Structure 1
Amino acid sequence: MVYKQLLRRTLFALGKGDPEIAHERTMVGLVRLGKVPPAVAAARKVFGARTEHTVFGVRFPGRVGLAAGMDKDGRALKAWPALGFGHVEVGTVTRHAQPGNPRPRLFRLAESEAIINRMGFNNAGADALAARLRAIGPVGVPLGISIGKSKVTPVEEAVEDYRHSLRALHPYGDYFAINVSSPNTPGLRGLQDRAALDELVGELRRESVALAHGAPRPLLVKIAPDLTDQAIAEVLQVCADHEVAGVIATNTTLARDGLASVDRNVGAEAGGLSGRPLTERARDVVAFVAKETGGALPIIGVGGVFDVDGALRMLDAGASLVQLYTGFIFEGPPLVRRINRAVDAR
C-alpha cells in the first residue's frame, strides 16, 4: 500500500508527460541502493525467496525475475536482488551503441494497467556492457543477457551482429536470450521465420560451444505473442534442432485488445504493448509451448503478471520461471515479495 499510495503516485506524477522521467529517477535511486551492501542484504531477506530452483542447469534463488528492458545497460544490477528478484535480465543490448527511437517513446495507460513502448533498443552497446559487468563483478543472482540486432545492421548481416554481442558478453551471462521478437526494430521479427532463425540460432550455438570449450552458456529464444501456433511450432523445431535451452514467452504485442476506453487514443501509438491486456495471451503461449514440447523445454513466462494468482497460473501453464516488467512498475517490490512467498509455500 505504501508503494501505491506514495511512491508510485509520486513517480507517475513526475513522469506524467514522459514516463521515461520516472524511469530515470527510479534508476538513480536503485544505483544508490546498490552501493550500500548492508541495505541490499537486509532488503533481500524481506523480499527474497527462500526456495531455490534449478532450470537449464542454472540455480535460481527464486522463480521471479526482472524482465529485459528495465535495466538495459546493467546500471542498477547490485540493487535488484534487494527487491526480491531471483534473476535479472539486462538488455536488450546490441553490437553498436544506439540512442533508440525519438522521444516520446514510452506511454503509460493507467486504466488498462499497460504500457506501450517503442524504445528501439536504446543502449550503450555490447562492449560497454561487458566493461561494466567486468568492473562490478558478481551480481548475487543469475544474470541473463538479452541480445538483439542493431538498427544500422542490415538483416542479411544480423548473424554477425548477434555473434559480436555474444562474444563480448559470454564471460558474464548465466544465460543469453536471443531477442528476435521486438516490434520496434525494422525487420527484426522476420528473424523468427524458420530459415532465418535456423541460421541465426545455429551459428550462435556453435559460437557458444567454441567460446565455452564444449560447455556452452544456455541460449534461449524470446518469441512474440503475435505468432500463430504453426509459427511457434516452427520456432520450437529450430530450438530442438540446435539444443536451445529454453524459450521466453512472450515479448510485447502489436495487438490492442482489452484496452479501457479512456486509453484508446494513447493505444493508437505505435509500439509494443505490455501489461494486463497481454495476460491471457502470454499464458496461452506458455501453455502451447509446454504442450508442444511435452514439458521438456524450460519456459520463462512473461507478460501481464500483476498478482500472485497470475504468477501461479503462469507456472501451472508450464513456465519454470516468471519475469516481471509492467506489473512491477504498477505494483512495485511488494508484488515480488508476495509471489515469492506464495511459491515458497507450495
Structure 2
Amino acid sequence: MDYSDIKKIFFKFQPETIHHIAEYGMRFGIKLPFVADYLVDKFCYIDTKLSQNILGINFLNPVGLAGGFDKNATMIKPLTALGFGYLEYGTLTPKPQSGNPKPRLFRLIEEKSIQNAMGFNNDGVTKIKSRVEKLYPFSIPLLANIGKNKVTPNESALSDYETLVRELKDLCDAFVLNLSSPNTPNLRALQETSFINELLGALKPLTSKPIFLKIAPDMPTSKAIEICNAAVAAGVSGIILNNTSIDYSLSPKAKDFGGLSGQIIKEKSREFFKAIADEIYGKTVLISCGGIDDAKEAYERIKMGASLVQIYTSFIFEGPGICKKINKELVELLTNDGFSNICEAIGVDVRK
C-alpha cells in the first residue's frame, strides 16, 4: 500500500482528527524496535552537495517543516526520521490556549491546499519546554516558533515574546517570530516597523540565538520591503517569506476566515518572495515558504535567494517521501547546472 492509498483513508476523516491520529502513531511508533532505522533508511537522503552552515548552524539539507504541524513538540523524533533538514516547533504561547472554535481546518483537495483557522492552539511554554528539555541539543536544527496569547492585548505583546525567549533560549537553535498568523485577532497589526524595532531591541539582548521574522504575503510589496529593511537594520537574522494568505479570491471554495496554504498560494508566494529578495538579498538570510511541493519549485526559490525552504501542506498531500524526493532531485538539478554545493546556487538569479 503506497501513500496515495493511505491518503484516501486519511481523507475520510476530519483533518484535525487525522492529524491527531497521525501524531499518536508517530509518537508511539518511533519507540518500537527498528522503526527509526527503517524510517531513516526509507525516507532520508544525504548528500554533501546539500549541506551548509548558516549563522553557525549546520543543515544537512535545505528542506524544513514549517511551524504549525508540530505545535507541541511531540513529533520531533519521528519527523526527523522522515528526512527533514530542520524543524519548527510551535507556534507556542506563554499560556496554554485551546485555539479557535472547531471546525477550523479544511482541505481544498482539488487544489492540494489547506485552509486553517487554528488560532495558536498549544500546551503553553511550561509543558512544551519540559518536552524539548529531554532531547535538546538535537541531531538537526530546531527552531522555536513563538507568538502571543490571544488574551494578550497588542500593547502588551512584547512581554509574551520576551517570556518565550527567556524560557526557550537554551532549547532551540533559532527563534521564529510569528506576527503574521491571520488567526489571532489583530496579530498582523504588529507587522509595523515601530513594533519590530521595539521587539528586536528587547529580544536580542536576551539570547545569542538567531532570530527570524515570518511575514504575511498579503501586504503591498512596498510595505513588505519597508518592514524587512527595518528588521534588518534592527538586527534580525533572517526573514521567512511567507505565512498563510487571506486572499480568498484564490479559490471559489475558500471560506472567508483563516489562512490558505499549499498549491493555491504557490504563484503568489513565489512572486512575493522574488519581489522581496530582489531588494534585500545579501542583507540577511532568506527562507522561502508557500506552495513548495517539488524540487523544481524549491530550486527556483533557492536561485531567487532562499538559503532554506519550508514545506507543510505538500507534506500532507504528498506524504512522508516528499523530503527524500525533493532532496534527491535537488542534487540532480545542482549537478546539471555545474554546482558542487547548494551554496553556489543560492541567489544566482539575483546576482545576474
Residue identity in the other structure for 1:329 = I
Q: Which residue, 293, 296, 300 being the options, matches 1:309?
A: 296
Tell me the percent identity.
Answer: 38
User: What residue number does 2:331 align with?
Assistant: 344
The alpha carbon displacement at 1:167 in A equals 0.8
1:320 & 1:257 partners in 2: Cα distance? Answer: 30
* Aligned counterpart for 2:28 among listed residues 28, 32, 37: 32
Return the TM-score normalized by structure 1.
Answer: 0.91
Equivalent residue, structure 2, for 1:110: 109
Q: Report if the CA contact (8 A) 1:56-1:218 is conserved.
A: yes
The answer for the alignment partner of 2:37 in structure 1 is 41
Secondary structure at the counterpart of residue 333 of structure 1: coil
Q: CA RMSD in A?
A: 1.5
| 2:261 match | 274
Distance 2:32 2:88 in 1: 22
Q: TM-score scaled to structure 2, two decimals?
A: 0.90
Identify the match of residue 225 of structure 1 among 217, 228, 239: 217
Q: Deviations over 1:102-128 (max 9, x none)?
A: 100001110111111110000011121
Structure-to-structure mapping, 1:136-147, within 5 angstroms = 136-147=135-146
Instruction: Give the partner amino acid of 1:343.
Output: L
Which string of whole-angstrom CA distances, capped at 9 and with x for unpartnered residues, describes residues 162-213 of structure 1? 11011111111101000000000011101111111211122111222xxxxx
Is 1:292–2:292 an aligned residue pair? no
Q: State the match for 1:73 in structure 2.
A: 72
| Of 14, 19, 22, the match for 2:15 | 19
User: How far has the Cα of 1:47 moved from its partner?
Assistant: 2.2
The answer (yes or no) to whether the contact 2:196–2:231 under 8 Å persists in 1 is: no
Would you say the 8 A contact 2:221–2:276 is kept in 1? no
Partner of 1:84: 83
Moved more, 82-91 or 313-322: 313-322
> Deviations for 1:249-283, whole angstroms, at most 9, x for unmatched residues?
10000002432xxxx34x12410011111111211
Structure 1 gap ranges (5+)? 209-215
Per-residue CA deviation, residues 65-110 of structure 1 (Å, 9 max, x unaligned), is: 1110001001111111111111110100011110000100001110
Q: Is 1:48–1:62's contact at 8 Å kept on the other side of the alignment? A: no
Q: Is the 8 A contact 1:44 1:82 kept in 2?
A: yes
Does the CA contact (< 8 Å) of 1:34 and 1:76 recur in 2? no
1:73 aligns to what SS in structure 2?
A: coil
CA distance, structure 2, for counterparts of residue 55 and residue 150 of structure 1: 30
Please, which runs of 5 or more residues in structure 2 have no aligned partner?
A: 335-352
Q: 1:269 and 1:35, CA in 2 relative to 1: closer, same or farther beyond 3 A?
A: farther
159-168 or 129-138, larger mean C-alpha shift: 129-138
Task: Indicate conservation of the 8 Å contact 2:112/2:262, yes or no.
Answer: yes
CA distance in 1, matches of 2:201, 2:222: 21
Q: Cα offset for 1:158?
A: 0.5
- Equivalent residue letter for 1:109: L
* Displacement after TM superposition at 1:285 (Å): 2.3
Taking the aligned partners of 1:119 and 1:40, their CA distance within structure 2 comes to 30
Tell me if structure 2 keeps the 8 A contact 1:77–1:139.
Answer: no
Secondary structure of the residue that 1:59 maps to in structure 2?
strand
Q: 1:295 to 1:45 in 2, by over 3 A?
A: farther
